[in-house]
Amino acid sequence: MIPAIYLKINPVTETSSTTVLLKDAARIFCGDASLTARLQAIPILKITARKRRRYVMDEMTLIGLIEKEAPKVPILCLGAADFVIAYKPPGPPRILWQHAKALAVCILCFAGAAFAIMTFNNDANVTDVFQEIYRLVMGREPEGAGLLEAGYSLGLAAGILVFFNHFAAFKMNTDPTPLEVEMRLYEDNIIKTLIASGEGKEQKQDGS
């Protein structure tokens, strides 16, 4: 007798197949290898859409499908209670379009960061601060930009690189960068919003 079926559900599953199997969305373990293979091959979703779309599902759907294949066997879910299937239709890679989007994002980020730095310097009146420091140290008025401005510019660039801890393929340590952390938080918030929206629609349909 099989003691139990262990199911660990992935919070997000990306697929290009119109038939999503149980093994695509979750890891399955039980004491019977043949039963494990049958469970992994259970279709959990048939996709008819021809464009990108996300589907919200829950563990109860998977439990119902598993019980049809293995009745009276305890099922222990160790992963997410609700999860998302992200469907991307198959097609040739659009390398030129991807590079164009990456270039546009780089330009926007560069322009936005430059504008933010310039407005900060203007609000803090950094030019007058440097001129005052120069007068206190050198005892005379500065003649244009000098070492203070050059050091400030280089230090600002170096500080940004050190803070984000990621420049091309080089990383100072194995910790995730602040940008990677923010992207992960952004993805988690998207998943939570999709799940909450899906549950709200289901409740509305049940109440109607």
Higher pLDDT, 58 or 167: 58
Q: String of b and e for 152-175 (b: at least 16 CB within 10 Å)?
A: eeeeeeeeeeeeebeeeeeeeeee
Could you tell me the maximum CA-CA distance found in the chain, to the nearest angstrom? 91
Check residue 67 and give its pLDDT.
Answer: 92
* Three-state SS at 43: strand
Residue 204 has pLDDT above 60, yes or no: no
Q: Dump pLDDT digits (tens) for 10-26.
A: 988 999 999 999 999 99
| Residue 206 pLDDT class (50, 70, 90 cuts) | very low
Residue 203 has pLDDT above 60, yes or no: no
Q: What kind of architecture, by CATH, is found in domain 5-87?
A: Sandwich (2.60)
**Per-domain residue ranges of the chain:** 5-87, 165-208
Check residue 31 and report its DSSP letter.
S
State the average pLDDT over residues 130-134. 82
Q: Dump pLDDT digits (tens) for 96-120.
A: 988 999 899 889 988 998 898 889 8
Alpha-helical segments (H) within 70-177? 95-124, 126-138, 147-164
Nearest-angstrom CA–CA distance, 66 and 72: 10
Torsion angle, alpha carbons of 21, 25, 31, 35, to 10: -10
Q: Who's near 6: CB < 8 A, 6+ residues apart?
A: 28, 29, 30, 76, 78
What's the pTM value of the predicted model, to 2 decimals? 0.64
| Residue 205 pLDDT class (50, 70, 90 cuts) | very low
Quickly count: other Cβ atoms within 10 Å of residue 84's Cβ: 21
State the average pLDDT over residues 125-139. 82
Q: Are 82 and 56 in contact (CB under 8 A)?
A: yes
Nearest-angstrom CA–CA distance, 64 and 39: 12
Check residue 19 and give its pLDDT.
Answer: 93
Q: String of b and e for 85-104 (b: at least 16 CB within 10 Å)?
A: bbbeeeeeeeeeeeeeeeee
Residue 54 has pLDDT above 60, yes or no: yes
Q: Provide the token pair at 85.
A: 């299937």
Q: What does pLDDT average to over the chain? A: 83
| Residue 2 pLDDT class (50, 70, 90 cuts) | low
Amino acid identity of residue 143, one-letter, is E
Q: Dump pLDDT digits (tens) for 61-97.
A: 999 999 998 888 899 988 778 899 999 888 787 889 8
- Read off φ and ψ for residue 55, nearest 5 degrees: -120, 130
